[in-house]
Amino acid sequence: MSSKDKTWKEISIAGVCPKSSESFKTGDWKTYMPILDTEKCIVCLTCVMLCPDGTINWIPDTNKISFDYTFCKGCGICANECPAKALTMKIDNTEG
């Protein structure tokens, strides 16, 4: 809890969200994070399609894959499914 959390009198009833889901940085749940070996990556986009949280994106200009770790929960589906074995799950040592 932090001092900016509101009291029961200040919030809407029934848990109606005052914020968009984009503002909830759920990435801090993860224990492991996927790390990409760009040498091995064949840009097949399997990980992009299978990420349940839409945190993996394809950058058309560079034809590269990028990860949004602020929402990645570290489920490991991407690493498990990568046909090129370009993704490995490593302990998340980042803060927050």
Partner 1 sequence: MAQQNKKTLAFNGDEAVAFAVKQCNVDVVAAYPITPQTIIVERFSEYVANGEVQTQFVCTESEHSAITASLSASTTGARTFTASASAGLALMHEMLFVTSGSRAPVVMAIANRALSAPLNIHGDHSDSMAQRDSGWIQLYVENAQEAYDSIIQAYKIAESCDVSLPIMVGLDGFTLSHSLENVDILSDEAVTDFIGERQLPQVLTHEGKSVPFKLDPKNPMTMGPVAFQNYYFEFKRQQEEGMKNALKRIQEVNSEFAKISGRCYGNGLIDKYKLEDAEVIVVCAGSTSGTLKVIVDELRACGVKAGLLRLRTFRPLPVEDLKNALKNAKAVAVMDKSMSFGGFGGAIFHEVRHSLYDSPVHPPIINYIYGLGGRDYSPSELRIVFDDLAEIAKTGDTGKQVRYLGLRE
Q: How many angstroms separate the CA atoms of 48 and 62, rounded? A: 15
Q: 45: how many CB neighbours lie within 10 A of its CB?
A: 12
Residue 95 phi, psi dihedral angles, 5° rounding: -85, 155
Cβ 8 to partner 1 shortest distance, Å: 4
Taking the least distance from each CB to partner 1, the nearer of 6 and 83 is 6
Nearer to partner 1, 7 or 63 (CB): 7
In single-letter form, the type of residue at position 47 comes to: C
Q: How many residues bind partner 1 (CB under 8 A)?
A: 17
Q: Which of 3, 15, 93, 96 binds partner 1 (CB under 8 A)?
A: 15
Please identify, among the stretches 5-13, 32-40, 48-56, 77-85, the one whose residues bind partner 1 according to the rule CB under 8 A. Answer: 5-13
Cα gap 1→69, rounded to integer Å: 23
